[in-house]
Structure formats: C-alpha cells, structure tokens
Amino acid sequence: MRPYTITGKKDTRSGFGDAMTLLGETDPRVVALCADLTGSLKLNTFAKENPDRFFQAGIAEANMISVGAGLALGGKVPFVTTFAAFATGRVYDQIRQSVAYSCTNVKIAASHAGITLGEDGATHQIMEDIGLMKMLPNMVVINPCDYNQTKAATLAAAAYQGPVYLRFGRPTEPIYTPADEPFEIGRAVRWSEGKDVTILATGHLMWRAIQATEQLEREGIGVDLLNIHTIKPLDTEAILASVRKTGCVVTCEEHMINGGLGDSVSQLLTQNQPVPQEYVAVNDHFGESGTPEELLVKFHLDTPDVIAAVRRVMARKK
C-alpha cells in the first residue's frame, strides 16, 4: 500500500472553493458564476475578493450556462457552479449545444453529487450525472477523491483548454492525498500493487477502497488499487495493464451502475481484455433522505461492500 497520512477531514467542495480563491489571485481570466448557492459552493471568498469577476445568476441555471459560454468566447475561463443535480440534468440541452458541441472553454463545477448529499433526499441526489456528461463529445469528466485532490483538479481544469465537468461533494471526508501531488487529467494514480484483484475507485469511494485494500492485504490478498479520478478520458493503458496481471476487477463509485466508471471499464474490457467484473454502485434506484453514512450502507457502497465484491469476483475468476 502506498504510504499516506490523514491530515484532517474536509469536504471536497472546500477544495474547490480554496482553489478558486487561489485562481482569483493568480489568473485574471478566471470568472465564477453561481446559481444562488455561493456559500454551498464555497465561493464567498472569491466573490468578496473579485466582485467584478463573480456573477450571481440566481435560480436560472440554463441562463448561467449560456452566459458562461459567452464569457468563454470572450476569452474568460468561466466556472459555472451549482449542485450536480441542477448542473447536469436541469440544463443538459444548454450544455450539449453551447458548451460541448461548441467546444467552449467552460468548466462546470458540480457540488453535492451522489448519495452522500444526504438528508436533502432523492430529488437532489443525482447519480446519473457522470453518464450524462461522459456521453458528450469534447467533455472531460473529473471526480476527485478528497480535499487536496479536488483543489489540484480545479487548478488543472482551469489550465485545460476545453469543456470540463468537475464533480465533488458535500460531506467531510479524510484528507489523505499529498497537498503537493500534481494532478494529471486522464492519468490514474496507483495506490497498491497486487496480483490477485484489481480495484478501480473514484470519488468518495476511493477512501472505502483504501480501507478494503488494507483489510484484504492483511488476509494475504494482493490488490492492485487505482484511483480513477478522471472518468473521461479514461486511463485505458493503466487499467488494461492491471487487469492483464490480476484477471479480475471491481469498480467502485458513488453513481448509478449504468453510465458511470464501471460502465466505461466494462466497455474497455469487452473490446480488449474480457475478465470477470463486479460493481460497487447504486443499482437502478433513486436515493432517499438519510445521513451519508446510513445511505452508503443502505445502497451497498461501504467498505464491507467493496470487500464482498472482491470475494465474488475472485470466486468467479477461479
């Protein structure tokens, strides 16, 4: 297992907000737009320090996307921000036409993604957003795992020329990636080396995958664990090299089983290296109100579920 140190607990959205504060100081092209959720997106400091570069769009997400596209065409680097449920499903037509099809340099920063939004319930817990975004030509899809990686991913998105969907969440999570680790779009990060099973994890489920890997390694099971922070473009080289070594794979994501990381990996393996695969994901079900911890357990996204999936896929391999 790669050595790591837990340096605290923060929500990944705070990593986005702190990166935006830094970009406000270092990149005059960066502007931010928000759909009446400035505090939730951690943009208060950016707005205060850059009042001429912050635009409150109100509860008018479709208009916000269009304004962002216009700003991009004018040479700015706009981050359009709201909850993931509103940043994707509510404004898909505007994203498709004005951002993806036109290939404008718009960054869609989506907070409160997945089931761990918690008590706000099913209407706000979008688990289809990765699928919606990855199907769009020209769109990069990033789902970082902790505060530090979200901050680094935001800086990388600002430097990237083209549309980006950046997904992050509400709950506090352990901070375990190095603060100075470079973020490379489309390049997986290896966390452990093993020959028995591949685990591919993204977003909040990366921490559960790390915990599962530690337990499995204590049992003598060699885990090849990769942090797939970029869903599109997928690091196909790293994934194929891993599954050719292990012969089986478990994908872990806080997303619907259809359309997410597991779906992308399945397509890759079908065409190149068919092996047994198990999915830790939400299985065709809307969410419900509850604490993040309760919902991870209820929808089978917790550490024991990763371990159970590993045992199933290894039995299939045998």
Token pair listed for 225:
């664990």
Please say whether the beta carbons of 13 and 42 come within 8 A: yes
Question: What are the DSSP calls for 38-87, one per residue?
Answer: TTTTT-HHHHHH-GGGEEE--S-HHHHHHHHHHHHHTT-EEEEEEEHHHH
Catalytic residue (one of 61, 173, 253, 278): 61
Mention every residue, 6+ apart, whose C-beta is less than 8 A from residue 63: 57
| Annotation says 184 is catalytic | no
**Maximum distance among all alpha carbons in the chain?**
62
Bond from prior residue into 233 cis (ω within 30 degrees of 0): yes
What single DSSP character describes residue 137? T
What single DSSP character describes residue 103? T
**Positions marked active-site:** 61
